[in-house]
Chain A
Amino acid sequence: MPEESILLVEDEDTIAMAFEYLLKHRGYRFRRVDTGTLALSVIQEDRPDAVILDVELAGCTGYEICQRIRSTPNLQNTIIVMTTARSGKVERQKCMAIGADDFYSKPFSVSDIVNSVETLLKERDSG
């Protein structure tokens, strides 16, 4: 069973519950915050292995959090999967350009994202 920690930055409770259930079920350590500002301090404090990051957040957008993680030397290996209610090619390009490892637009399947996080962590650990 994996021991990695995953931080969910999501303000929608139902979605958060689903992630919590699935991630814990697969053996990950799980923590959730619902604002961007809180996310920044928790990331510094916890140094999670992966962050599932909603773009539309109060306080500080997911883009900015992603940029901060990527510009922080000791967080370079953190897996970032971004989610957004916006769709379109450019949204994906933007998320990938600023440092996300994967991107999902709403409506998305929670289990697809969990699978993606799992794969990315495996790749990171094997690489």
Chain B
Amino acid sequence: MAETNELKRWIFNRFTALLLGILIADGAALWLGFSRSSGEVNAFIIAGIVAGLGVTGLIIWTAVAFNDTLVKPLQRITDELSAGALTEAAPSTKPVSSPQLKGLTNAMNTALSALQTARIERTEEVARETAKLDRQKTLFTALLQDLVDGVLVLTPDNRIMLFNRAAQRLIPKLGLDRPFSYFLREEPLLNASKRINAMSERGHIDTVEFLVATEDGGQFFHMRARPIVMDGAAIGMLLIFHDATEDLSAHADQDHLFNTLFQDVLRQATAVGAAVDAIYDDPEMPPAIRKNFADLMHTNLHQLFSRLDEMCDLHDSTVVRNWPTSTVATIDLFDGLNAKDIARVRMSGKSQFITCDGFAILELFGRLLTGLKESGSRYDFNFAADPRDDQVWLSLAWSGDEATESDIEGWLRGALSNGYGAYEGKDVLLGHLTDLWSEPSGLGYRIVLPLQGAREPGEALHEERAEFYDFDLPPISAEDDMANMPLDDLRYVVFDTETTGLEPSKGDEIIQIAGVRIVNKRILQGDVFDTYVDPKRAIPAVSTEIHGITEDMVVGAPEIAEAGKDFHDFCKGAVLVAHNAPFDMAFLKKKQDQIGIDFNQPVLCTVLLSAALNEFADSHTLDALMERFGLEMPPNMRHTAIGDAMATAQVFIHLLDILKGQGITTLDQAIEATNRMAKYRKAQKY
């Protein structure tokens, strides 16, 4: 538009100059003619003036025509081109009313049409590629999440940039961007990296296996590591792992069994044998001595039995560990049984969860149902699952003839399925440390199979969230370098505390701490710290009214020394953020001695940040900020530590965008802005 006005001005100036020039030339000609003439002056002047007026009229007419024919259409063409270039708008179909510019108009329309076509093609291409990526992402996520083994992908500096559900189940506190060493001992990994590097120097990359323990040594994982290489450079490390604690423990138990129990059994058996020999050798043995031997035999025998019982238990647990089991819903077994189409089976009662090899148990029931149905004298089959203490009794009931023990044994004889090699039904029962039997039930009979009950699996862990991976993690920097790091690249822990009151200096204490991490401007909802804290004092009713935390709720919770240390660990490498941070920090700082660690991380306060960015806003309460940014929180979450921390985290992400918009891009600048504001708001009421 500015360019068109410029053109208009230029044309106006040129025509004005032309007009003035002609008028001046006309005047000069008149003056020259008049000074040299001796005749009629008036006629001469009149002719000059008429000529001048005529020329003026012609020039004005030409200028107007020029404007209408060229300038206005050019302006429209300029607008059309600008709109077409800057927006997705389609080219105008309205013809430009200037035949003289028809060629240019056509050229413009052709160019815009071509641009539009290119745009549509590009948009379609992007949509296609996006759909392809989405599909790949869905497949990738499904594949990854349903793997039984844990999967981790580490950055070159051993931070977690991807994990799957199994990994999270095995290492419950797993979080993106966390260093490997936060969860597990790092030495075996470093050693594996060295071996991998050595291998790659020799020109081949292979998988390296190693065993790694948790920090407390309570769990062991068997890991397979493989570098992820792109363009010759390692961009990460893939780790696939499973819990080896059970395996190791089973080996240890077996070793123990043979090393100690076996020795004990031999010793006790030898002692009994010695006493028997003595009595056998001397039929004339005096009764008092014989009684001594009998007492010793009795004692040794009981010790021997006790050891044998232990051996049985250990043997059983080893057998169970070797049979692969998982949590299975009995409704799935019922569906599977009906899908076999052996006989129509109804199900009564609620579905339960059991620990078993679902396929093997299903095959077992298939065999039983086939056997029951074959005689033709049994009908009206019903499947049920009844919880009994820690067991669930699966039962298959029917009307008609009884099934004897030998009937059942016959049905379970023979290989269970091709997939189980020579394993028979009885082996499945032994593998599950169980047995089955038939007994009268109602008007008929039922076969009962007790199996170990299982807890209902939690909701698919964080299924809705896409924060199992982040391939664009910002580089990590030392804590003293944080000041100049871009705000977007920093890690944050947004936290909140609930307390017994408002005055730490007068004995008020923390009763709940909750925090959530933000990495790459994403709230990692799975990486959450949330604990009650036992304040070792009463919680006033007036406080309970606000946060709903009663004294019963904090019984058994860690005290501040433990909870504070755990929270400090959780915050490692992160900037602390809280709404009205000075309040929460006052409580934490007061407890530093007790916790044994200083909370000296950089701190940002969302109240002060909001005030610094919007000085004239009426309110900077959490509710006001949430409303300003159009955020919502379930009402029951407000004034819970985790609810408020989550809400503050959402507000903070909006504040980060505004900070950037106002040129505040580093932590130092943000802290400076809040400090400036703090001076003005010393008496701020939040």
Q: Do B434 and A90 touch (CB < 8 A)?
A: yes
Q: Contacts A60-B406, A61-B406, A88-B316 hold; do A98 and B304 have CB atoms under 8 A apart?
A: no
Q: Do B435 and A94 touch (CB < 8 A)?
A: yes
B560 to chain A, nearest CB (A): 44
B544 to chain A, nearest CB (A): 45
For residue A95, which residue of chain B has the nearest CB? B437
- Residues from chain B with a CB closer than 8 A to the CB of A89 are 391
Q: A63 an interface residue at 8 Å Cβ cutoff?
A: yes
Contact of A97 among B316, B433, B439 (CB under 8 A): B439
Q: Do A90 and B308 touch (CB < 8 A)?
A: no
Q: Do B305 and A97 touch (CB < 8 A)?
A: no
A74–B305 alpha-carbon span in the complex (Å): 38
Q: Do B304 and A67 touch (CB < 8 A)?
A: no
- Residues from chain A with a CB closer than 8 A to the CB of B437 are 63, 94, 97-98
Q: Do A61 and B405 touch (CB < 8 A)?
A: yes
Most chain A beta carbons < 10 A, residue from B304, B312, B316:
B312
Q: Do A88 and B406 touch (CB < 8 A)?
A: no
Most chain A beta carbons < 10 A, residue from B302, B304, B405, B436:
B405
How does the 8 Å CB contact mask read for B384-413 relative to A, with 1 for contact and 0 for none? 000000010000000000101110010000
A61–B410 alpha-carbon span in the complex (Å): 13
Q: Contacts A87-B309, A90-B450, A97-B448 hold; do A107 and B439 have CB atoms under 8 A apart?
A: no
Q: Contacts A64-B404, A64-B406, A97-B448 hold; do A107 and B434 have CB atoms under 8 A apart?
A: no
A69–B328 alpha-carbon span in the complex (Å): 37
- Residues from chain B with a CB closer than 8 A to the CB of A86 are 435
Size bracket, chain A contacts: 20 to 34
A19–B486 alpha-carbon span in the complex (Å): 86
- Residues from chain A with a CB closer than 8 A to the CB of B434 are 90
A120–B34 alpha-carbon span in the complex (Å): 158
B222 to chain A, nearest CB (A): 30
- Residues from chain A with a CB closer than 8 A to the CB of B313 are 87
A9 to chain B, nearest CB (A): 15
Q: Do A87 and B305 touch (CB < 8 A)?
A: no
Q: Do B404 and A67 touch (CB < 8 A)?
A: yes
Instruction: Give residues of chain A (89-127) contacting chain B, Cβ–Cβ below 8 Å.
Output: 89-91, 93-94, 97-98, 105, 107-109
A87–B434 alpha-carbon span in the complex (Å): 10
For residue B403, which residue of chain A has the nearest CB? A67
Q: Do B305 and A71 touch (CB < 8 A)?
A: no
- Residues from chain B with a CB closer than 8 A to the CB of A61 are 405-406, 409
- Residues from chain B with a CB closer than 8 A to the CB of A97 are 437, 439, 448
A127 to chain B, nearest CB (A): 22
Contact of B405 among A64, A87, A91, A93 (CB under 8 A): A64
- Residues from chain B with a CB closer than 8 A to the CB of A94 are 435-437
Q: Contacts A88-B316, A90-B434, A94-B435 hold; do A107 and B304 have CB atoms under 8 A apart?
A: yes
A94–B302 alpha-carbon span in the complex (Å): 26
Q: Contacts A98-B439, A107-B304, A107-B308 hold; do A90 and B433 have CB atoms under 8 A apart?
A: yes
For residue B429, which residue of chain A has the nearest CB? A90
A98–B435 alpha-carbon span in the complex (Å): 12
- Residues from chain A with a CB closer than 8 A to the CB of B302 are 109
Q: Do A93 and B312 touch (CB < 8 A)?
A: no
Contact of B435 among A60, A67, A91, A109 (CB under 8 A): A91
A94 to chain B, nearest CB (A): 5
Contact of B450 among A63, A64, A93, A109 (CB under 8 A): A93
- Residues from chain B with a CB closer than 8 A to the CB of A90 are 433-435, 450
How does the 8 Å CB contact mask read for B312-346 relative to A, with 1 for contact and 0 for none? 11001000000000000000000000000000000
A42 to chain B, nearest CB (A): 19
A98–B405 alpha-carbon span in the complex (Å): 10
B396 to chain A, nearest CB (A): 15
- Residues from chain B with a CB closer than 8 A to the CB of A109 are 302, 305
A63–B402 alpha-carbon span in the complex (Å): 14
Q: Contacts A88-B316, A90-B434 hold; do A63 and B405 have CB atoms under 8 A apart?
A: yes
A108–B448 alpha-carbon span in the complex (Å): 27
- Residues from chain B with a CB closer than 8 A to the CB of A87 are 309, 312-313, 316
A86–B435 alpha-carbon span in the complex (Å): 11
For residue B439, which residue of chain A has the nearest CB? A97
A71–B309 alpha-carbon span in the complex (Å): 33
A69 to chain B, nearest CB (A): 13
- Residues from chain A with a CB closer than 8 A to the CB of B433 are 88, 90
Instruction: Give residues of chain B (434-473) contacting chain A, Cβ–Cβ below 8 Å.
Output: 434-439, 448, 450
A91–B437 alpha-carbon span in the complex (Å): 10
- Residues from chain A with a CB closer than 8 A to the CB of B438 are 67, 98
- Residues from chain B with a CB closer than 8 A to the CB of A108 are 305
- Residues from chain B with a CB closer than 8 A to the CB of A71 are 402
Instruction: Give residues of chain B (204-256) contacting chain A, Cβ–Cβ below 8 Å.
Output: none
- Residues from chain A with a CB closer than 8 A to the CB of B312 are 87, 105
For residue A62, which residue of chain B has the nearest CB? B405
Q: Contacts A71-B402, A88-B433 hold; do A107 and B305 have CB atoms under 8 A apart?
A: yes
A109–B302 alpha-carbon span in the complex (Å): 8
For residue A68, which residue of chain B has the nearest CB? B404
A38–B405 alpha-carbon span in the complex (Å): 17
A90–B429 alpha-carbon span in the complex (Å): 11
B155 to chain A, nearest CB (A): 49
- Residues from chain A with a CB closer than 8 A to the CB of B439 are 97-98
A109–B312 alpha-carbon span in the complex (Å): 17
A60–B617 alpha-carbon span in the complex (Å): 90
- Residues from chain A with a CB closer than 8 A to the CB of B391 are 89
A86–B430 alpha-carbon span in the complex (Å): 10
- Residues from chain B with a CB closer than 8 A to the CB of A60 are 406
- Residues from chain B with a CB closer than 8 A to the CB of A88 are 316, 433
A73 to chain B, nearest CB (A): 14
For residue A71, which residue of chain B has the nearest CB? B402
A93–B391 alpha-carbon span in the complex (Å): 11
A88–B305 alpha-carbon span in the complex (Å): 15
For residue B312, which residue of chain A has the nearest CB? A87
A105–B316 alpha-carbon span in the complex (Å): 14
Q: Do A67 and B405 touch (CB < 8 A)?
A: yes
For residue B302, which residue of chain A has the nearest CB? A109
A13–B448 alpha-carbon span in the complex (Å): 34
CB<8 Å pairs between A and B, sample of 23: A61-B405, A61-B409, A67-B404, A67-B405, A67-B438, A87-B313, A87-B316, A88-B433, A89-B391, A90-B434, A90-B435, A91-B435, A93-B450, A94-B435, A94-B436, A94-B437, A97-B439, A98-B437, A98-B439, A105-B312, A107-B309, A108-B305, A109-B302
Give me 14 other A-B pairs in contact (C-beta within 8 A), A87-B309, A90-B450 excluded: A61-B406, A63-B405, A64-B404, A64-B405, A67-B404, A67-B438, A86-B435, A87-B313, A87-B316, A89-B391, A93-B450, A94-B437, A98-B439, A107-B305
Residue positions of A touching B, CB distance < 8 A: 60-61, 63-64, 67, 71, 86-91, 93-94, 97-98, 105, 107-109
Residue positions of B touching A, CB distance < 8 A: 302, 304-305, 308-309, 312-313, 316, 391, 402, 404-406, 409, 433-439, 448, 450
* 3 smallest beta-carbon distances between A and B, as pairs: A64-B405, A107-B305, A63-B405
